[in-house]
Amino acid sequence: MILPEATVRLESTKYQKKIVKFTEYSDNYTVTIHGMPDDNEVIAIKADAFSAPKEIFQGTKGECKRADFVIIADTIKKGKFIVFIEMKGGKKTSKEKEIIQQLKGAQCFVEYCQAIGKSFWEKRYFLDDYQYRFVSIKNIKIPKSKTRYESKADIHDTPEKMLKISDPHHIQFNRLIGGKK
């Protein structure tokens, strides 16, 4: 369904572990996520790869915004998750309200893909039993210290309760979906 140009390929480390590198070329920074599921269990999508739908929506409520990346994982061991990720390079960044709008926009994108899968692919339960996770990563371009995780709730399953990661140094996929570091 998703064009290869709108996806991010997984890489293998020298220890045969899977990683994904999310790069914001316009701002010149990269975030690496370690401990990714196998290639056949995951797809990483550049959610902001297409133009904002400004020709259709007014944009007054943030409905034209999208987060940077989406990870859709269907694993036997970890379960089924859709992780929405918004990245910010430095300390001067968007307000939390705008990040929430971006995360909501990416969620709408995935829900649109879900409707396409059900209607055009005739997959009745396409993406139905996936758990959502919302993540904001900031201070990427600042010299690294220990990665800090902050969440308003035990499970970051809505944009308003997003997991906030600051000074990313070594981010683990398990941590993004709610596992331990």
Q: Is 80 exposed, middle or buried (0-12, 13-18, 19+ CB in 10 A)?
A: middle
Residue 5 has pLDDT above 70, yes or no: yes
d(CA 176, CA 26): 24
Cα 131–chain centre separation: 13
- Bigger pLDDT: 180 vs 12: 12
Distance of CA 172 to the CA centre of its chain: 13
Give the Cα-Cα-Cα angle 175, 176, 180 (nearest 5 degrees). 15
Structure confidence at residue 167 as a pLDDT band (50, 70, 90): confident
Residue 111 has a pLDDT of 97
Percent of the chain with pLDDT over 70: 90
Taking the chain, what is the end-to-end CA distance rounded to the nearest angstrom? 32
> What is the per-residue pLDDT for 180?
47
> pLDDT tens digits for 97-151?
999 999 999 999 999 999 999 999 999 999 999 999 999 998 877 665 666 666 6
Q: Is the pTM of this model over 0.75?
A: yes
- Tokens encoding 55: 């020709």
